Structure 1
Amino acid sequence: MGLQQSNIEALPFVTAELNYLAPTLGRPRTYAFDPPAGEPKTTALPDPRQVPIFDARLIAENISLDREGFALVRHPTRVRDFYDDKEVRDVYYPAAEAFLKATLKADRVFIFDHTVRKRVEGAADVRGGGPRQPATRVHVDQTDVSGANRVREHLPEEADELLKGRVQVINLWRPIRGPLRDAPLAMCDGQTVAPGDLVASDLIYPSRKGETYSVKYNPNHRWFYVPEMTADEALLLKCYDSATDGRTRFGPHTAFVDPTTPADAALRESIELRTLVFHKP
Protein backbone atom coordinates (compact mmCIF):
# COMPACT_ATOMS: atom_id res chain seq x y z
CA MET A 1 0.00 0.00 0.00
CA GLY A 2 1.45 3.36 -1.02
CA LEU A 3 1.14 6.74 0.59
CA GLN A 4 -1.65 7.64 -1.79
CA GLN A 5 -3.74 5.14 0.18
CA SER A 6 -2.71 6.53 3.56
CA ASN A 7 -4.57 9.27 5.36
CA ILE A 8 -1.64 11.68 5.51
CA GLU A 9 -3.68 14.55 6.91
CA ALA A 10 -4.55 12.46 9.98
CA LEU A 11 -0.89 11.96 10.93
CA PRO A 12 0.80 13.96 13.71
CA PHE A 13 2.99 16.73 12.33
CA VAL A 14 5.13 19.69 13.27
CA THR A 15 5.28 22.99 11.41
CA ALA A 16 8.86 24.08 10.81
CA GLU A 17 10.97 26.31 8.59
CA LEU A 18 12.77 24.76 5.61
CA ASN A 19 15.30 26.67 3.51
CA TYR A 20 14.46 26.44 -0.18
CA LEU A 21 16.35 28.19 -3.00
CA ALA A 22 15.43 31.81 -3.65
CA PRO A 23 15.35 32.97 -7.30
CA THR A 24 18.87 33.66 -8.52
CA LEU A 25 20.49 35.14 -11.60
CA GLY A 26 22.47 32.42 -13.29
CA ARG A 27 23.43 28.98 -12.06
CA PRO A 28 23.87 28.77 -8.26
CA ARG A 29 27.38 27.94 -7.08
CA THR A 30 28.93 27.23 -3.71
CA TYR A 31 32.61 26.99 -2.82
CA ALA A 32 33.72 24.10 -0.59
CA PHE A 33 36.76 26.16 0.42
CA ASP A 34 37.55 29.85 0.92
CA PRO A 35 36.42 31.48 -2.34
CA PRO A 36 38.61 33.69 -4.50
CA ALA A 37 38.84 37.34 -3.52
CA GLY A 38 35.63 39.17 -4.27
CA GLU A 39 33.57 35.98 -4.68
CA PRO A 40 30.78 35.09 -2.23
CA LYS A 41 30.92 31.72 -0.50
CA THR A 42 27.66 30.89 -2.24
CA THR A 43 25.23 32.51 -4.65
CA ALA A 44 22.41 30.22 -3.47
CA LEU A 45 20.26 32.40 -1.22
CA PRO A 46 17.65 30.88 1.10
CA ASP A 47 13.91 31.12 0.66
CA PRO A 48 12.62 30.05 4.10
CA ARG A 49 9.13 28.52 4.15
CA GLN A 50 6.97 27.22 6.97
CA VAL A 51 5.71 23.74 6.05
CA PRO A 52 4.02 20.82 7.83
CA ILE A 53 6.34 17.84 8.34
CA PHE A 54 4.44 14.61 8.99
CA ASP A 55 5.40 11.73 11.28
CA ALA A 56 6.53 8.94 8.95
CA ARG A 57 7.07 6.40 11.71
CA LEU A 58 3.37 5.56 11.79
CA ILE A 59 3.26 4.72 8.07
CA ALA A 60 6.83 3.47 7.56
CA GLU A 61 5.67 0.15 6.12
CA ASN A 62 3.86 2.04 3.33
CA ILE A 63 6.92 4.05 2.26
CA SER A 64 9.04 2.79 -0.64
CA LEU A 65 12.55 3.86 -1.61
CA ASP A 66 11.60 3.39 -5.28
CA ARG A 67 8.39 5.41 -4.99
CA GLU A 68 8.85 8.13 -2.37
CA GLY A 69 12.65 8.16 -2.53
CA PHE A 70 13.35 7.31 1.12
CA ALA A 71 12.76 4.49 3.60
CA LEU A 72 13.20 3.73 7.29
CA VAL A 73 15.16 0.56 8.07
CA ARG A 74 16.42 -1.24 11.14
CA HIS A 75 20.20 -1.52 10.99
CA PRO A 76 22.10 -2.31 14.23
CA THR A 77 25.85 -1.77 14.16
CA ARG A 78 28.92 -2.98 16.06
CA VAL A 79 30.77 0.31 15.60
CA ARG A 80 31.83 1.78 18.94
CA ASP A 81 33.29 5.09 17.80
CA PHE A 82 31.98 6.73 14.63
CA TYR A 83 34.58 9.47 15.04
CA ASP A 84 37.32 6.88 14.44
CA ASP A 85 37.75 6.95 10.66
CA LYS A 86 39.58 3.62 10.59
CA GLU A 87 36.87 1.83 12.55
CA VAL A 88 34.18 3.31 10.29
CA ARG A 89 35.98 2.06 7.18
CA ASP A 90 37.05 -1.32 8.61
CA VAL A 91 33.84 -2.22 10.49
CA TYR A 92 30.96 -0.07 9.27
CA TYR A 93 31.69 -0.05 5.54
CA PRO A 94 31.66 -3.86 5.03
CA ALA A 95 28.56 -4.33 7.19
CA ALA A 96 26.69 -1.51 5.45
CA GLU A 97 27.70 -2.80 2.03
CA ALA A 98 26.35 -6.28 2.83
CA PHE A 99 23.18 -4.80 4.34
CA LEU A 100 22.45 -2.61 1.32
CA LYS A 101 23.22 -5.38 -1.15
CA ALA A 102 20.74 -7.70 0.58
CA THR A 103 18.08 -5.07 1.28
CA LEU A 104 18.11 -3.60 -2.22
CA LYS A 105 18.73 -6.95 -3.96
CA ALA A 106 21.69 -5.37 -5.71
CA ASP A 107 24.44 -7.05 -7.65
CA ARG A 108 27.07 -4.75 -6.19
CA VAL A 109 27.42 -1.87 -3.71
CA PHE A 110 30.35 0.52 -3.61
CA ILE A 111 30.74 3.03 -0.76
CA PHE A 112 32.55 6.11 -2.02
CA ASP A 113 32.59 8.37 1.06
CA HIS A 114 31.00 9.28 4.38
CA THR A 115 30.34 12.37 6.48
CA VAL A 116 30.13 12.58 10.26
CA ARG A 117 28.08 15.48 11.63
CA LYS A 118 27.87 16.91 15.12
CA ARG A 119 25.83 20.03 15.72
CA VAL A 120 27.60 22.74 17.67
CA GLU A 121 25.60 25.85 18.59
CA GLY A 122 26.71 28.80 16.46
CA ALA A 123 29.49 26.93 14.65
CA ALA A 124 30.06 27.33 10.92
CA ASP A 125 29.98 24.30 8.64
CA VAL A 126 33.65 23.85 7.66
CA ARG A 127 34.81 21.03 5.39
CA GLY A 128 37.96 19.28 6.56
CA GLY A 129 37.72 20.83 10.02
CA GLY A 130 36.32 17.90 12.00
CA PRO A 131 32.65 16.85 12.15
CA ARG A 132 30.41 18.80 9.78
CA GLN A 133 27.32 20.72 10.88
CA PRO A 134 23.87 19.51 9.78
CA ALA A 135 22.94 20.61 6.25
CA THR A 136 20.09 23.10 6.61
CA ARG A 137 19.05 23.71 3.01
CA VAL A 138 16.71 21.64 0.89
CA HIS A 139 18.85 19.69 -1.56
CA VAL A 140 19.56 16.48 -3.44
CA ASP A 141 23.16 15.26 -3.25
CA GLN A 142 23.45 14.33 -6.95
CA THR A 143 21.99 15.34 -10.30
CA ASP A 144 21.33 13.36 -13.47
CA VAL A 145 24.81 14.37 -14.59
CA SER A 146 26.82 13.99 -11.38
CA GLY A 147 25.20 10.68 -10.43
CA ALA A 148 26.58 8.98 -13.54
CA ASN A 149 29.85 10.84 -13.15
CA ARG A 150 30.32 9.28 -9.72
CA VAL A 151 30.72 5.91 -11.44
CA ARG A 152 33.30 7.31 -13.84
CA GLU A 153 35.15 9.03 -10.99
CA HIS A 154 35.33 6.12 -8.55
CA LEU A 155 35.32 3.08 -10.87
CA PRO A 156 36.78 4.43 -14.11
CA GLU A 157 37.95 1.12 -15.60
CA GLU A 158 34.54 -0.50 -15.10
CA ALA A 159 32.33 2.54 -15.68
CA ASP A 160 31.22 1.84 -19.26
CA GLU A 161 30.04 -1.66 -18.38
CA LEU A 162 28.44 -0.68 -15.05
CA LEU A 163 26.52 2.18 -16.66
CA LYS A 164 24.78 -0.28 -18.97
CA GLY A 165 22.77 -1.47 -15.96
CA ARG A 166 20.75 0.38 -13.37
CA VAL A 167 22.83 2.68 -11.17
CA GLN A 168 21.61 4.38 -8.00
CA VAL A 169 23.26 6.68 -5.49
CA ILE A 170 21.82 5.81 -2.09
CA ASN A 171 22.72 7.51 1.17
CA LEU A 172 22.58 5.50 4.40
CA TRP A 173 21.91 8.04 7.18
CA ARG A 174 21.75 7.26 10.90
CA PRO A 175 22.01 8.96 14.28
CA ILE A 176 25.16 8.12 16.19
CA ARG A 177 23.25 8.40 19.44
CA GLY A 178 19.55 8.21 20.13
CA PRO A 179 16.84 8.98 20.57
CA LEU A 180 17.53 11.82 18.17
CA ARG A 181 15.43 14.88 18.99
CA ASP A 182 17.70 17.72 17.82
CA ALA A 183 17.92 18.76 14.13
CA PRO A 184 16.18 15.70 12.65
CA LEU A 185 16.13 14.99 8.94
CA ALA A 186 13.13 15.93 6.78
CA MET A 187 12.47 13.99 3.57
CA CYS A 188 10.27 15.12 0.71
CA ASP A 189 8.02 12.60 -1.02
CA GLY A 190 9.60 12.29 -4.47
CA GLN A 191 6.17 11.88 -6.04
CA THR A 192 5.38 15.49 -5.15
CA VAL A 193 8.53 16.96 -6.74
CA ALA A 194 8.18 18.43 -10.23
CA PRO A 195 11.21 18.46 -12.56
CA GLY A 196 11.17 22.27 -12.58
CA ASP A 197 11.61 22.34 -8.79
CA LEU A 198 15.18 21.04 -9.13
CA VAL A 199 17.96 23.49 -9.98
CA ALA A 200 21.38 22.09 -10.91
CA SER A 201 23.97 23.91 -8.78
CA ASP A 202 27.76 23.86 -8.82
CA LEU A 203 29.72 22.70 -5.78
CA ILE A 204 33.29 23.86 -6.36
CA TYR A 205 36.26 22.07 -4.77
CA PRO A 206 39.94 23.04 -5.10
CA SER A 207 40.57 20.40 -7.77
CA ARG A 208 37.15 19.57 -9.21
CA LYS A 209 33.56 20.73 -9.61
CA GLY A 210 30.59 18.72 -8.39
CA GLU A 211 26.90 19.24 -9.04
CA THR A 212 23.90 19.00 -6.73
CA TYR A 213 20.24 19.97 -6.97
CA SER A 214 19.02 22.98 -5.07
CA VAL A 215 15.24 23.04 -4.74
CA LYS A 216 12.64 25.73 -5.37
CA TYR A 217 9.55 25.92 -3.20
CA ASN A 218 6.45 24.12 -4.42
CA PRO A 219 3.31 24.06 -2.24
CA ASN A 220 2.64 20.52 -3.48
CA HIS A 221 5.73 19.18 -1.70
CA ARG A 222 4.87 16.72 1.07
CA TRP A 223 7.41 16.41 3.89
CA PHE A 224 8.07 13.65 6.45
CA TYR A 225 10.41 12.92 9.33
CA VAL A 226 10.99 10.07 11.79
CA PRO A 227 10.85 11.39 15.36
CA GLU A 228 13.21 10.07 18.01
CA MET A 229 15.26 7.80 15.79
CA THR A 230 17.39 5.32 17.71
CA ALA A 231 20.99 4.30 17.05
CA ASP A 232 19.70 1.00 15.60
CA GLU A 233 17.66 2.75 12.92
CA ALA A 234 18.71 4.31 9.63
CA LEU A 235 17.24 6.11 6.65
CA LEU A 236 17.83 5.21 3.03
CA LEU A 237 17.81 8.29 0.77
CA LYS A 238 17.72 7.98 -3.01
CA CYS A 239 19.93 10.69 -4.55
CA TYR A 240 20.18 9.40 -8.12
CA ASP A 241 18.65 6.64 -10.22
CA SER A 242 19.48 5.90 -13.85
CA ALA A 243 16.20 4.01 -14.37
CA THR A 244 13.77 5.91 -16.56
CA ASP A 245 10.67 3.73 -16.32
CA GLY A 246 8.70 6.32 -14.36
CA ARG A 247 8.60 4.25 -11.17
CA THR A 248 11.81 5.36 -9.59
CA ARG A 249 12.04 8.73 -7.87
CA PHE A 250 14.33 10.58 -5.54
CA GLY A 251 13.37 13.17 -2.98
CA PRO A 252 15.07 16.21 -1.50
CA HIS A 253 16.03 16.28 2.16
CA THR A 254 17.32 18.70 4.82
CA ALA A 255 17.91 19.02 8.54
CA PHE A 256 15.41 21.25 10.32
CA VAL A 257 14.72 22.80 13.70
CA ASP A 258 11.92 20.84 15.35
CA PRO A 259 9.94 23.32 17.50
CA THR A 260 8.99 20.49 19.88
CA THR A 261 12.61 19.59 20.73
CA PRO A 262 13.19 19.79 24.50
CA ALA A 263 15.64 22.49 25.57
CA ASP A 264 17.88 19.88 27.23
CA ALA A 265 17.96 17.50 24.25
CA ALA A 266 21.39 16.21 23.23
CA LEU A 267 22.69 17.93 20.11
CA ARG A 268 22.48 15.94 16.92
CA GLU A 269 25.27 13.51 15.98
CA SER A 270 24.92 11.54 12.76
CA ILE A 271 26.76 9.79 9.97
CA GLU A 272 25.82 9.29 6.34
CA LEU A 273 27.40 6.88 3.87
CA ARG A 274 27.19 7.65 0.16
CA THR A 275 27.00 4.58 -2.00
CA LEU A 276 26.75 3.44 -5.59
CA VAL A 277 24.25 0.60 -6.01
CA PHE A 278 24.42 -1.50 -9.18
CA HIS A 279 21.96 -3.85 -10.87
CA LYS A 280 23.02 -5.71 -13.98
CA PRO A 281 20.99 -5.17 -17.16
Structure 2
Amino acid sequence: MSSSKLSPNVSGVQTADVLYLKREAHHQHEKPFKLRYDPGEGIPRSNCTNESCNIKIHDLRGNESSASLKSNGFAWLPLRSSLASEEFYDDEKKYWNIGQAPTPNRTTKLKRSSTQTRKTHEQFPIALGEPFEHLQPTTIVHIGETDMVISPFAVQVLTGHRFYTFSVWKPLRGPVNDWPLALCDPRTVNQSEDLVAVDVVTREGCTENVQVYHSSRHSWYYLSDQFDTVATLFSQVDTAQRGKAGVPHTGFQHSNAAVASHPRESVELRAFLYYH
Protein backbone atom coordinates (compact mmCIF):
# COMPACT_ATOMS: atom_id res chain seq x y z
CA MET A 1 0.00 0.00 0.00
CA SER A 2 1.36 3.39 -0.98
CA SER A 3 1.96 6.11 1.61
CA SER A 4 1.66 9.83 0.94
CA LYS A 5 5.43 10.27 1.31
CA LEU A 6 7.54 9.46 -1.73
CA SER A 7 10.77 7.51 -1.25
CA PRO A 8 13.25 8.38 -4.02
CA ASN A 9 16.48 6.57 -4.77
CA VAL A 10 19.03 8.92 -3.18
CA SER A 11 21.72 7.96 -5.69
CA GLY A 12 19.52 8.60 -8.72
CA VAL A 13 19.02 12.37 -8.68
CA GLN A 14 19.22 14.08 -12.07
CA THR A 15 19.61 17.80 -12.75
CA ALA A 16 18.21 19.19 -15.97
CA ASP A 17 17.12 22.42 -17.61
CA VAL A 18 13.42 22.56 -18.41
CA LEU A 19 11.20 25.33 -19.73
CA TYR A 20 8.72 27.06 -17.43
CA LEU A 21 6.41 29.94 -18.32
CA LYS A 22 8.01 33.25 -17.37
CA ARG A 23 6.10 35.36 -14.84
CA GLU A 24 5.11 38.56 -16.64
CA ALA A 25 3.02 41.43 -15.28
CA HIS A 26 0.64 41.55 -18.24
CA HIS A 27 -0.61 38.04 -17.44
CA GLN A 28 -2.49 39.66 -14.53
CA HIS A 29 -4.90 41.34 -16.95
CA GLU A 30 -4.26 39.58 -20.27
CA LYS A 31 -4.83 35.86 -20.68
CA PRO A 32 -1.79 34.06 -22.11
CA PHE A 33 -2.28 32.73 -25.63
CA LYS A 34 -0.42 30.97 -28.41
CA LEU A 35 -1.41 30.96 -32.08
CA ARG A 36 -0.52 27.82 -34.03
CA TYR A 37 -0.64 29.67 -37.34
CA ASP A 38 0.71 32.86 -38.91
CA PRO A 39 -1.91 35.57 -38.22
CA GLY A 40 -0.30 38.09 -40.52
CA GLU A 41 1.95 41.10 -40.19
CA GLY A 42 1.68 43.12 -37.01
CA ILE A 43 -0.22 40.50 -35.00
CA PRO A 44 1.76 38.66 -32.30
CA ARG A 45 1.61 34.87 -32.28
CA SER A 46 1.91 34.77 -28.50
CA ASN A 47 2.08 36.93 -25.40
CA CYS A 48 4.07 34.27 -23.50
CA THR A 49 7.77 33.82 -22.85
CA ASN A 50 9.41 30.61 -21.67
CA GLU A 51 12.41 30.58 -19.33
CA SER A 52 14.92 27.80 -18.73
CA CYS A 53 15.15 26.64 -15.12
CA ASN A 54 17.44 24.04 -13.61
CA ILE A 55 15.63 21.47 -11.47
CA LYS A 56 16.42 18.31 -9.51
CA ILE A 57 14.51 15.19 -10.58
CA HIS A 58 14.42 12.30 -8.12
CA ASP A 59 14.47 8.68 -9.27
CA LEU A 60 11.78 6.43 -7.78
CA ARG A 61 13.30 3.23 -9.18
CA GLY A 62 12.96 0.55 -6.50
CA ASN A 63 10.38 2.62 -4.62
CA GLU A 64 7.88 3.32 -7.39
CA SER A 65 5.06 1.81 -5.31
CA SER A 66 5.38 4.79 -2.93
CA ALA A 67 3.58 6.89 -5.57
CA SER A 68 -0.17 6.64 -6.09
CA LEU A 69 -2.83 8.34 -8.18
CA LYS A 70 -4.77 9.24 -5.05
CA SER A 71 -1.92 10.88 -3.14
CA ASN A 72 0.44 12.09 -5.86
CA GLY A 73 -1.63 12.11 -9.03
CA PHE A 74 0.68 9.62 -10.75
CA ALA A 75 1.68 5.97 -10.54
CA TRP A 76 3.47 3.23 -12.48
CA LEU A 77 1.63 0.05 -13.40
CA PRO A 78 2.34 -3.01 -15.58
CA LEU A 79 0.76 -2.70 -19.03
CA ARG A 80 1.48 -4.89 -22.03
CA SER A 81 0.31 -4.42 -25.60
CA SER A 82 -0.02 -6.94 -28.41
CA LEU A 83 1.16 -4.28 -30.89
CA ALA A 84 4.76 -4.14 -32.07
CA SER A 85 6.46 -0.77 -31.51
CA GLU A 86 6.32 0.16 -35.22
CA GLU A 87 2.55 -0.44 -35.29
CA PHE A 88 1.96 2.53 -33.00
CA TYR A 89 2.90 4.80 -35.92
CA ASP A 90 -0.02 3.35 -37.92
CA ASP A 91 -3.12 5.48 -37.31
CA GLU A 92 -5.35 2.46 -37.81
CA LYS A 93 -3.55 0.34 -35.23
CA LYS A 94 -2.08 2.61 -32.59
CA TYR A 95 -5.25 2.83 -30.51
CA TRP A 96 -4.44 -0.19 -28.42
CA ASN A 97 -7.13 -1.74 -26.24
CA ILE A 98 -7.73 0.88 -23.58
CA GLY A 99 -9.46 -1.80 -21.56
CA GLN A 100 -6.00 -3.08 -20.65
CA ALA A 101 -5.43 -0.01 -18.48
CA PRO A 102 -6.35 -0.51 -14.81
CA THR A 103 -9.30 1.68 -13.79
CA PRO A 104 -11.03 2.42 -10.48
CA ASN A 105 -14.19 0.64 -9.44
CA ARG A 106 -17.67 2.18 -9.83
CA THR A 107 -16.99 3.42 -13.35
CA THR A 108 -19.63 3.34 -16.04
CA LYS A 109 -17.74 4.36 -19.12
CA LEU A 110 -14.17 4.74 -20.33
CA LYS A 111 -13.56 6.72 -23.50
CA ARG A 112 -10.35 7.43 -25.37
CA SER A 113 -9.71 11.10 -26.13
CA SER A 114 -6.49 11.12 -28.18
CA THR A 115 -3.23 9.30 -28.76
CA GLN A 116 0.17 10.83 -29.55
CA THR A 117 3.24 8.89 -30.62
CA ARG A 118 6.70 10.44 -30.28
CA LYS A 119 10.14 9.44 -31.55
CA THR A 120 13.23 11.47 -30.70
CA HIS A 121 15.24 12.67 -33.70
CA GLU A 122 19.02 12.32 -33.36
CA GLN A 123 19.42 16.12 -33.68
CA PHE A 124 16.78 16.96 -31.06
CA PRO A 125 16.56 19.44 -29.33
CA ILE A 126 18.42 21.31 -32.09
CA ALA A 127 15.91 22.58 -34.66
CA LEU A 128 16.34 21.40 -38.24
CA GLY A 129 14.68 24.40 -39.84
CA GLU A 130 11.82 22.19 -40.96
CA PRO A 131 9.30 19.99 -39.12
CA PHE A 132 10.53 16.71 -37.67
CA GLU A 133 9.00 13.57 -39.15
CA HIS A 134 7.63 12.56 -35.72
CA LEU A 135 6.49 14.49 -32.68
CA GLN A 136 9.40 15.17 -30.32
CA PRO A 137 9.48 14.97 -26.51
CA THR A 138 7.75 17.83 -24.75
CA THR A 139 10.26 20.23 -23.20
CA ILE A 140 7.81 22.71 -21.61
CA VAL A 141 6.38 22.12 -18.14
CA HIS A 142 2.61 21.90 -18.57
CA ILE A 143 -0.63 20.18 -17.66
CA GLY A 144 -2.36 18.86 -20.75
CA GLU A 145 -5.93 19.89 -20.08
CA THR A 146 -8.21 22.15 -18.02
CA ASP A 147 -11.86 21.97 -16.97
CA MET A 148 -12.61 23.30 -20.46
CA VAL A 149 -12.40 19.74 -21.79
CA ILE A 150 -15.49 18.72 -19.84
CA SER A 151 -17.80 21.02 -21.82
CA PRO A 152 -18.91 18.27 -24.26
CA PHE A 153 -19.90 16.22 -21.23
CA ALA A 154 -21.82 18.92 -19.33
CA VAL A 155 -24.86 16.68 -18.91
CA GLN A 156 -22.89 14.11 -16.91
CA VAL A 157 -21.25 16.82 -14.83
CA LEU A 158 -24.41 18.82 -14.13
CA THR A 159 -26.24 15.70 -12.99
CA GLY A 160 -23.60 15.21 -10.33
CA HIS A 161 -21.58 12.46 -11.96
CA ARG A 162 -17.85 12.51 -11.40
CA PHE A 163 -15.73 13.01 -14.52
CA TYR A 164 -12.01 12.26 -14.58
CA THR A 165 -9.41 12.55 -17.32
CA PHE A 166 -5.99 10.95 -17.21
CA SER A 167 -3.05 10.02 -19.41
CA VAL A 168 -1.40 6.66 -19.94
CA TRP A 169 2.21 7.10 -21.09
CA LYS A 170 4.41 4.15 -22.04
CA PRO A 171 7.68 3.60 -23.88
CA LEU A 172 7.54 1.70 -27.16
CA ARG A 173 11.10 0.49 -26.59
CA GLY A 174 12.94 0.19 -23.33
CA PRO A 175 14.78 0.99 -21.29
CA VAL A 176 14.25 4.74 -21.65
CA ASN A 177 17.43 6.71 -20.98
CA ASP A 178 16.83 9.28 -23.69
CA TRP A 179 14.48 12.13 -22.71
CA PRO A 180 12.41 10.32 -20.06
CA LEU A 181 9.20 11.73 -18.58
CA ALA A 182 9.39 13.83 -15.39
CA LEU A 183 6.38 14.40 -13.13
CA CYS A 184 5.86 17.10 -10.51
CA ASP A 185 4.08 16.16 -7.30
CA PRO A 186 1.00 18.44 -7.41
CA ARG A 187 1.05 18.76 -3.62
CA THR A 188 4.14 20.97 -4.04
CA VAL A 189 2.37 23.28 -6.50
CA ASN A 190 0.54 26.43 -5.39
CA GLN A 191 -2.57 26.25 -7.55
CA SER A 192 -3.31 29.98 -7.48
CA GLU A 193 0.25 31.28 -7.88
CA ASP A 194 2.06 28.70 -10.03
CA LEU A 195 -0.53 27.78 -12.68
CA VAL A 196 -2.16 29.70 -15.50
CA ALA A 197 -4.56 28.65 -18.26
CA VAL A 198 -3.27 29.31 -21.78
CA ASP A 199 -5.39 29.52 -24.94
CA VAL A 200 -3.93 27.47 -27.79
CA VAL A 201 -5.53 28.69 -31.02
CA THR A 202 -5.48 27.07 -34.45
CA ARG A 203 -7.37 28.06 -37.59
CA GLU A 204 -9.85 25.31 -36.76
CA GLY A 205 -10.60 26.34 -33.19
CA CYS A 206 -9.28 26.87 -29.68
CA THR A 207 -8.31 24.64 -26.79
CA GLU A 208 -6.83 25.36 -23.40
CA ASN A 209 -4.02 23.89 -21.35
CA VAL A 210 -2.23 24.85 -18.18
CA GLN A 211 1.33 26.12 -18.07
CA VAL A 212 3.44 26.46 -14.97
CA TYR A 213 5.48 29.22 -13.37
CA HIS A 214 8.68 28.09 -11.68
CA SER A 215 8.88 27.65 -7.92
CA SER A 216 11.65 26.22 -5.77
CA ARG A 217 8.95 24.31 -3.88
CA HIS A 218 8.25 21.99 -6.80
CA SER A 219 9.33 18.36 -6.28
CA TRP A 220 10.08 16.36 -9.43
CA TYR A 221 10.26 12.59 -9.98
CA TYR A 222 10.88 10.04 -12.73
CA LEU A 223 11.41 6.31 -13.18
CA SER A 224 14.83 5.35 -14.54
CA ASP A 225 15.21 2.57 -17.11
CA GLN A 226 11.47 2.38 -17.76
CA PHE A 227 10.59 -0.55 -20.02
CA ASP A 228 7.74 -0.90 -22.50
CA THR A 229 5.93 -3.25 -20.12
CA VAL A 230 5.38 -0.46 -17.57
CA ALA A 231 3.01 2.48 -18.04
CA THR A 232 2.95 5.83 -16.29
CA LEU A 233 -0.54 6.98 -15.32
CA PHE A 234 -1.08 10.61 -14.34
CA SER A 235 -4.09 12.81 -13.65
CA GLN A 236 -5.35 15.69 -15.78
CA VAL A 237 -8.81 16.86 -14.62
CA ASP A 238 -11.02 15.54 -11.82
CA THR A 239 -14.41 17.21 -11.27
CA ALA A 240 -14.51 15.75 -7.76
CA GLN A 241 -11.54 17.96 -6.90
CA ARG A 242 -12.46 21.34 -8.37
CA GLY A 243 -9.72 23.89 -7.94
CA LYS A 244 -7.07 21.17 -7.90
CA ALA A 245 -5.14 20.85 -11.14
CA GLY A 246 -3.54 17.77 -12.62
CA VAL A 247 0.12 16.75 -12.73
CA PRO A 248 2.69 19.10 -14.30
CA HIS A 249 5.05 17.10 -16.52
CA THR A 250 7.75 17.42 -19.16
CA GLY A 251 10.46 15.47 -20.91
CA PHE A 252 14.03 16.13 -19.78
CA GLN A 253 17.51 15.44 -21.09
CA HIS A 254 18.92 12.61 -18.98
CA SER A 255 22.65 12.57 -18.29
CA ASN A 256 22.81 9.19 -20.08
CA ALA A 257 20.99 10.46 -23.17
CA ALA A 258 24.17 10.65 -25.27
CA VAL A 259 24.99 6.97 -24.67
CA ALA A 260 21.43 5.63 -24.84
CA SER A 261 21.18 2.58 -27.07
CA HIS A 262 18.16 3.98 -28.91
CA PRO A 263 16.15 7.23 -29.11
CA ARG A 264 13.07 7.56 -26.98
CA GLU A 265 9.92 6.22 -28.58
CA SER A 266 6.73 6.62 -26.59
CA VAL A 267 2.97 6.80 -26.85
CA GLU A 268 0.56 8.79 -24.69
CA LEU A 269 -3.12 8.02 -24.55
CA ARG A 270 -5.60 10.41 -22.95
CA ALA A 271 -8.88 9.06 -21.69
CA PHE A 272 -12.13 10.14 -20.03
CA LEU A 273 -13.53 8.18 -17.11
CA TYR A 274 -17.15 8.42 -15.97
CA TYR A 275 -18.40 7.32 -12.56
CA HIS A 276 -21.83 6.10 -11.43
Shift of 1:109: 0.8
Shift of 1:134: 1.1
Shift of 1:124: 6.4
Aligned to 2:183: 187
Q: Which sits farther off after the overlay, 69-78 or 113-122? A: 113-122
Aligned to 2:114: 113
Shift of 1:2: 2.1
Q: Is the 8 A contact 2:10 2:58 kept in 1?
A: no
Q: Deviations over 1:195-241 (max 9, x none)?
A: 12111101112121111111001111100011111111111111111
Q: From 142, 146, 151, give the equivalent of 1:143.
A: 146
Q: Deviations over 1:92-140 (max 9, x none)?
A: 0xx22x133x43223211002111111112346989x752111100000
| TM-score (normalised: structure 2) | 0.86
Distance 1:42 1:79, change over 3 A: farther
Q: From 134, 138, 143, give the equivalent of 2:137.
A: 134
Q: Which amino acid aligns with 1:197?
A: D
| Aligned-partner SS, 1:67 | helix
Q: What is the alpha-carbon distance in structure 1 between the residues aligned to residue 208 and residue 252 of structure 2?
A: 23
Q: Which sits farther off after the overlay, 207-216 or 28-37? A: 28-37
Aligned to 2:21: 21
Structure 2 residue 89 is the aligned partner of structure 1 residue 83: yes
For structure 1, the 5+ residue unaligned runs are none
What does residue range 211-222 of structure 1 map to in structure 2 within 5 Å? Answer: 211-222=208-219
Q: Which amino acid aligns with 1:237?
A: F
RMSD over equivalenced CA pairs, Å: 2.4
Aligned to 1:207: 204
Identity of aligned residues (%): 28
Q: When the two structures are aligned, how many residues end up with a matched partner?
A: 263
Shift of 1:162: 5.0
Q: Is the 8 A contact 1:125 1:133 kept in 2?
A: no
Q: From 40, 49, 52, give the equivalent of 1:48.
A: 52
Distance 1:133 1:10, change over 3 A: closer
Q: Deviations over 1:248-280 (max 9, x none)?
A: 762100011112334353111111111111112
| Aligned-partner SS, 2:70 | coil
Q: What is the alpha-carbon distance in structure 2 between the residues aligned to residue 136 and residue 148 of structure 1?
A: 26
Q: Is the 8 A contact 2:76 2:232 kept in 1?
A: yes
Q: What is the alpha-carbon distance in structure 2 between the residues aligned to residue 74 and residue 135 of structure 1?
A: 23
Aligned to 2:251: 255
Aligned to 1:230: 227
Q: Which amino acid aligns with 2:173?
A: R
Q: What is the alpha-carbon distance in structure 2 between the residues aligned to residue 40 and residue 260 of structure 1?
A: 38
For structure 2, the 5+ residue unaligned runs are none
Q: What is the alpha-carbon distance in structure 2 between the residues aligned to residue 271 and residue 52 of structure 1?
A: 25
Structure 2 residue 103 is the aligned partner of structure 1 residue 103: yes
Aligned to 1:160: 155
Q: Which amino acid aligns with 2:216?
A: P
Structure 2 residue 3 is the aligned partner of structure 1 residue 2: yes
Q: Is the 8 A contact 2:34 2:45 kept in 1?
A: yes
| TM-score (normalised: structure 1) | 0.85
Q: Is the 8 A contact 1:67 1:249 kept in 2?
A: no
Q: Is the 8 A contact 1:69 1:249 kept in 2?
A: no
Q: From 194, 198, 201, give the equivalent of 1:197.
A: 194
Q: Is the 8 A contact 2:9 2:60 kept in 1?
A: no
Q: Is the 8 A contact 1:124 1:133 kept in 2?
A: no
Shift of 1:34: 3.8
Q: Is the 8 A contact 1:119 1:133 kept in 2?
A: yes
Distance 1:161 1:219, change over 3 A: same
Q: What is the alpha-carbon distance in structure 2 between the residues aligned to residue 124 and residue 193 of structure 1?
A: 35
Q: Deviations over 1:120-168 (max 9, x none)?
A: 12346989x7521111000001123x2322xx0xx6xxx4035521111
Q: What is the alpha-carbon distance in structure 1 between the residues aligned to residue 43 and residue 61 of structure 2?
A: 43
